[in-house]
Chains A and B, each alone.
Chain A
Amino acid sequence: MVRTKEDLNQSIKKMNRINAASNTPTAVGTQETTEQQKLQHQLQIFQNSLPKVSQTAYMLLLNECVPLSMAVEKKRGDRALNLVGNGDDEVSQTEGKLEGVHLSPPLDPPSNQLCRELYEADEEKHNRVLDRLRNIGFEIGNKVTELLVFSNNPNLHFKDMDLLSVMKFICRDVWRQMFNKQVDNLKTNHRGTFYLFDYDYKPIQTFALDSESSAKELQMVKPFLEITVGVIKGVLASIGHAPENVVCLASYVDRPEEKPRSSFTKGVSFHVQVTM
């Protein structure tokens, strides 16, 4: 995923210290520039050694989870219907099996069509798709903690962390790893209820339908928030707050006046409730 400037700055500082220790403190004048160059060179090597991935590809993949879940749910539904329909007919069943074994299976419908189908699906199916998405997010969340704690920041001790610090960890580190930014605002009542406000939630920024259908648009974009709901639950679960003790809901909020206008009309708020 994405490393940010601050990570790099920290590493520069570290390297500075190492350099200061290893070199004799007589470096002056002309050597100063070469020192600078050496540092820059080291930074270059360090940056090249970091695992990198295209941000565009990552975002597309993350968003593609929604049509994927819909397609899986749809295929499952079709399979169930087929089994019910052909239960007593041996011949058609084997035919169905043969048809299932395609060398090049037919492509799923395009993502925009799947999103529309998800919007039009009945409530039960809709909920099943959302559950699927939350599960994907949950798995991601579990792994993200692992990654952040053991590869980036071995100094974090969750044992003596209270819930607020854990939420701060989500707002700062998890968000930065996933969306390359921090949560804009965190509110709490100090009794286990937290509101995480993100006024320009990255994955949905360029989503829009035609000019007139804005309520429909908000409804269609809603499933894209569920992955992050799952991520929050997954992170909390990996730190020791069991998923059944955590309630997490996503909703839209208005953007405050001083925030610059961006292409999506609403900000997003994640409401997290933890029972201790």
Chain B
Amino acid sequence: MAIYSFWIFDKHCNCIFDREWTLISNSASGTMNSKQTEETAKLLYGMIYSLRSVTKKLSRDDSTNEVRSISIGKYRIHTYCTASGLWFVLLSDYKQSSYAHVLRYIHSHIYVKYVTHNILSPYDFAENENETRGRGFRKISNRNFISALESFLGPMIAQ
């Protein structure tokens, strides 16, 4: 069970947080909120978005039919979508089939606690019309959020 990267997308199709680990031996390695992963973020968003619309069309009744994970030749993508339009995405290897509880924990105990309850931090990361529809650039750079996330995900990077 190893995780490779973690992403958060908001309802305006923007990537508001990304974290990629490069060395399995070192939990501090890799990039965070980097410009270089912008393209990857867009591709990842596009893939999940299209699979979501496909699954929506393929559902037998009107009940929601969400994508939970996508397995590809080399890795597995886990997604967790909230009603407010946030997507929590985690890339991992094959050893564990579900990371739903991890993503739910990140949402309820880290995102809500350190971003939603923090009055100094914006709750909508697109400040005007020009930053919606995937054209935003703002990221979560909150000290508490980052340290809590690192200490929570750190032990999972190389297990």
Query: A110-B124, A112-B122 are known contacts. Are A206 and B113 too (CB-CB below 8 A)?
Result: yes
Within 8 A of A (CB), among B126-159: 141-146
When C-beta atoms are compared, the residue in chain A nearest to B145 turns out to be: A208
Instruction: Fill in one digit per residue for A124-160: 1 if any B CB lies within 8 Å of its CB, else 0.
Output: 0000000000000000000000000000000000000
In Å, the complex CA distance between A211 and B119 comes to: 16
Contact status B114-A206, CB under 8 Å: yes
Instruction: Fill in one digit per residue for A211-226: 1 if any B CB lies within 8 Å of its CB, else 0.
Output: 1000001001100000
Query: A263-B114, A263-B144 are known contacts. Are A207 and B123 too (CB-CB below 8 A)?
Result: no
Select which of A67, A113, A206 is within 8 A of B118 by beta carbon.
A206
Query: A206-B113, A263-B114 are known contacts. Are A63 and B119 too (CB-CB below 8 A)?
Result: yes
Contact status A112-B143, CB under 8 Å: no
Q: Which residues of A contact B117 (CB under 8 A)?
A: 56, 59-60, 206
Q: Is A32 an interface residue (CB 8 A)?
A: no
Chain A residue total in the interface (Cβ 8 A): 22
Interface SS of B by simple majority: loop
Interface size bracket, B side: 10 to 19
A-B contacts at CB below 8 angstroms, number? 50
In Å, the complex CA distance between A111 and B122 comes to: 8
Select which of A56, A63, A211 is within 8 A of B143 by beta carbon.
A211
Q: A63, A67, A217, A263: which has the most chain B beta carbons within 10 Å? A: A263
Binding site for A on B (CB under 8 A): 113-114, 117-124, 141-146
- Rank and list the top 7 A-B pairs by shortest CB-CB distance, nearest first: A211-B143, A210-B141, A206-B117, A208-B144, A208-B143, A263-B144, A112-B122
* Given A64-B119, A208-B114, A209-B142, 16 extra CB contacts under 8 A: A66-B119, A67-B119, A110-B124, A112-B119, A112-B120, A206-B113, A206-B117, A206-B118, A207-B119, A207-B120, A209-B143, A210-B141, A211-B143, A217-B120, A220-B120, A263-B114
